[in-house]
Amino acid sequence: MADLDVVGGRLSPAMLELVEAVLKPCSPSVREGLMRHAESALIVEISPTWLDVRPAKDLPKVECPSGRVPVEVDFILVAPDWNSDVFAWVENGYFTGLEQPWTSDEPPSRWPKPHELVYHNIGDDN
């Protein structure tokens, strides 16, 4: 069995669950296509704040502009005490990774679990 969550390996089931949670606010067609990419992807770089992958190029591209994946929420926070958010990236119609930027002095030491994500729209009171 190939190594998981290491450079040259594939994403683990736990990391795929996180990708799916980050893509949850996307349209169904975008979410499903990007998940197929993530499931086929090999890891190019991984840290607690950055995941860079290369999916199989024989999969269909997703109708999604290059850059941050557009979602139907303003941002996805990680549990409030983390001071970070999470978003997905696309390049030329293919899922290319996740980023976890932070606003505190210390960077996150791990990726969040799906249940630690909070979907937030500007103007929400929570």
Per-residue pLDDT of the chain (126 residues; tens, 9 = 90+): 457 899 999 999 999 999 999 999 888 999 999 999 999 999 999 999 999 999 999 999 999 999 998 776 656 767 667 778 888 999 999 999 999 888 888 888 888 888 888 887 655 554
Q: For residue 81, tell me if it sits in a domain.
A: yes
Q: For residue 6, tell me if it sits in a domain.
A: no
pTM for this prediction: 0.88
Q: For residue 42, tell me if it sits in a domain.
A: yes
When computed from its CA atoms, the radius of gyration of the chain, rounded to whole angstroms, is 14
Q: For residue 126, tell me if it sits in a domain.
A: no
Residues of the domain holding 80: 13-120
How many structural domains compose the chain? 1
Q: For residue 2, tell me if it sits in a domain.
A: no
Could you tell me which residues come within 8 angstroms of residue 5 by beta carbon, excluding any fewer than 6 positions away?
11, 12, 14, 15, 43, 46
Ramachandran class of 123: left when φ > 0, alpha when ψ lies in -120 to 50, beta otherwise: left
Q: For residue 125, tell me if it sits in a domain.
A: no
Q: For residue 4, tell me if it sits in a domain.
A: no
